[in-house]
Structure 1
Amino acid sequence: MTVRTRILILLSAVALLVAVGVAAVLHAAARAERRDHVQAGGPAVTSGTVLLTEHGRMVFRNMAWGPHRDELTTVPRSDPAGPRTASGVKCLRFYAASGTGVCLQAVHGPVSDTYRALILDARLHTRDRYDVPGIPSRARVSPTGHFAAWTAFVGGDSYAGTNFSTRTAIADTRTGALIPSLEAFRIVRDGHPYRAADANFWGVTFAADDRTFYATLATGGKTYLVRGDLRTRTVTTVHTNVECPSLSPDGTRIAYKKRVPGLPKDAPWHLYVLDLHTMRETPVAESRSVDDQVVWRDDRTLVYALPGDYGADLYAVPAGGPGTPHRLLPSAVSAAFLD
């Protein structure tokens, strides 16, 4: 090979590398331009202070693209479409009440992720932390702020099928004492003691007495609403075909997702409200399948997540039955309303 030929080959290689580099830069610039356009058209999000004692606010996990994605973020309850203030604290699931928050986080490792639950004070400082044995799914804080609960998938990753297992824990936020699994509680089903290896719990919701809670129990191919007692470590079945219950602020009703025959296997639920005194079920005016533990904005309105362009959007619907659902907040999930 002559020197001239070698030079031509070298020049050709250099030209090819330059072309590849220019193409990569142009592609990155185009992606940045598209990303900036999406951000410019979405909600405005800025860093600031988020307090869990600031009345008249809602706090949620921000799903909008940008530097504040996944951070706990707040807006006024009266203006949910207004500018968002982001805290810098990232959570996969979140809830708060009476100045106490629970934040379920992923801890990214070199080989795989692990998960933890953080108990937060009113300024989002960590008071306690606990290992979580699987993918976070549900989180709740009692109305007094004295207890926090969370559910994680420890086998499978969806409530839609039957091949999954969960672990639900409850922590006393005052003492740090942990109940690592509700499976240790005594079960009373239909008035009789009940034991089964397939008992599975998820979706705790607390009453205001620092003793009573509700949750879902799955066993024998059925799901039950159970009423739990933190003092006696007992759960008692109340109603069938109830998943992810949420107790109303006045303590009289449970909102939940119910499996409805004829719906697709991967989207089998409709939202219902159960009157705890009469045991009457009322379907709400949401025709889409909702896989969420709904939140009561007040005694009349339910808030829940549905899939959206950037992961999830929050919707609201009347709890009484008739009405029309509407999108409350785009690019958001895991809402808590601060009273």
Structure 2
Amino acid sequence: MNRTRRLLILLAAVLLLTGVAVGATLRAADRAAEKDRPRAGGPPVRPGAVTLDAPGRDVFRNMAWGPHRDEIVSVPDADPAGPRTSSGVRCLRFHTAAGTGVCLQSVRSGLRDVYRAVVLDARLRPLRHFDLAGIPTRARVSPDGRAAAWTVFVSGDSYAGTAFSTRTSVLDVRTGELDRDLETYRFVLDGRPHRAADLNVWGVTFADAGHFYATVATGGKTYLVRGDRAERTLRALHENVECPSLSPDGTRVAYKKRVEGVSPDAPWRLYVLDLRTLRETATAERRSVDDQAVWRDGRTLVYSLPGDYGSDLWTVPADGSGRARLLTEAALAPAFIARP
């Protein structure tokens, strides 16, 4: 075998081994990418007409991967895991009551994302919009549809630690009058006005357009407060309450409570507080719930937990009985339109 032939054989071997190595690397990269790739599929979604005043419907943010991800969808209350009708309106946080909706959106502006709150009518048409100072985290509409509230993270992006700052606003939907920051309200603790530089307010839930409950944090503690828009006051009622949600009859508040002996990254359990007796009841949900629960009716709570698509909705009785059950997967920020 002459020298030229030997060189050609050597070169062929080198090319073959290089090809094998490159192929193996690409297959490994493919497997890694597949592992990290979001799960495909999920509940079927089709475009259509979504309204906020159709009785017996559930509406929420669709989290299933595909062209309708993040859009507000509607399903029959009797079949919450069934096919979804998508509105085409995208929201990061959403709530609705009495035909009024509030949608917290991300909007591309140049090279960065900015956020805004959009008030929607019953056909999801925009009525007003307001620029937001940070990342959307909570949204609520009063039972009569005449007021809306939202909370954003101004700094930080988690309630688990202490290094965060929030801003909560309340809007009169009819007049457009906006209380931009509830921290300007007078905070009353133990019967006396309390001023503090570290005050944070978040998680509004309405009794009516003029009165609400929320969380106030100061001095390393959290408090359930009752807010009065006319008096511009926040009065502390109970300690260790976060993200309250008022029951339809106005007698109880569901909330997340920090409990001892668990991971600081997952510190909450879901409780219900009787507002008359201040008696607390732990629900049967034993996992950490970092959400503002919603009352599906006077007996049942709905809340989100992490899932394959980012978030699933779970349900549990409010009286401490029963057990937690999956309501529907790939969903967030639910609202339930009651039957007449």
TM-score under structure 2 length normalisation: 0.89
* Runs (5+) with no aligned partner, structure 2: 1-14
Amino acid at match of 1:263: V
Q: Percent identity?
A: 63
TM-superposed CA distance for 1:38, in Å, is 2.8
In structure 2, C-alpha distance between the alignment counterparts of 1:109 and 1:124, rounded to whole Å: 23
User: Equivalents in 1 of 2:149, 2:217: separation in Å?
Assistant: 18
Match of 2:40 among 38, 41, 61: 38
Match of 1:133? 133
Partner of 1:38: helix, strand, or coil?
coil
**CA distance in structure 2 between the partners assigned to 1:45 and 1:71 by the alignment:** 10
1:304 aligns with 2:303: yes
**Post-superposition CA distance 1:47-78 (Å, at most 9, x none):** 00000000100000000011100000010111
1:230-284 residue CA offsets vs partner (Å, 9 max, x unmatched): 1110110000000000000000000000000111011000000000000000000
Question: Deviation above 3 Å: which 4+ runs of structure 1?
Answer: none
SS of the residue corresponding to residue 314 of structure 1 reads strand
**Paired residues, number:** 316
Q: Report the aligned-residue RMSD.
A: 2.3
1:103 is the counterpart of 2:103: yes
AA at the equivalent of 1:38 = A
1:331 is the counterpart of 2:330: yes
**Corresponding residue of 1:176:** 176
1:322 aligns with 2:328: no
Matched to 1:323, the amino acid is G
1:126-165 pair list within 5 angstroms: 126-165=126-165
- Per the TM alignment, residue 322 of structure 1 is displaced from its structure 2 partner at its CA by 1.4
TM-superposed deviation, 1:194: 1.0
Q: CA deviation at 1:164?
A: 0.3
Report deviation, 1:190. 0.7
Map 1:116-131; keep pairs closer than 5 Å: 116-131=116-131
Q: Which residue of 2 aligns with 1:235?
A: 234
**Which amino acid in structure 2 is aligned with residue 290 of structure 1?**
V
Superimposed CA distance per residue, residues 173-199 of structure 1 (whole angstroms, 9 cap, x where no aligned partner): 101110000011011101011111111
Q: Could you tell me how far apart the structure 2 residues matched to 1:110 and 1:194 are? A: 42
Alignment TM-score, normalising by the size of structure 1: 0.89
| Residues 168-317 of structure 1: pairs in structure 2 closer than 5 A | 168-208=168-208, 210-317=209-316
Q: What's the secondary structure of 1:263's corresponding residue?
A: coil
Q: Distance in 2 between matches of 1:193 and 1:162?
A: 23
Query: Within 2, Cα distance between the matches of 1:247 and 1:151?
Result: 17
In 2: Cα distance, 1:110 partner to 1:290 partner? 36
Aligned equivalent of 2:11 = none
Give SS of 1:170's match. Answer: strand
How far apart are residue 111 of structure 1 and its match? Answer: 2.6
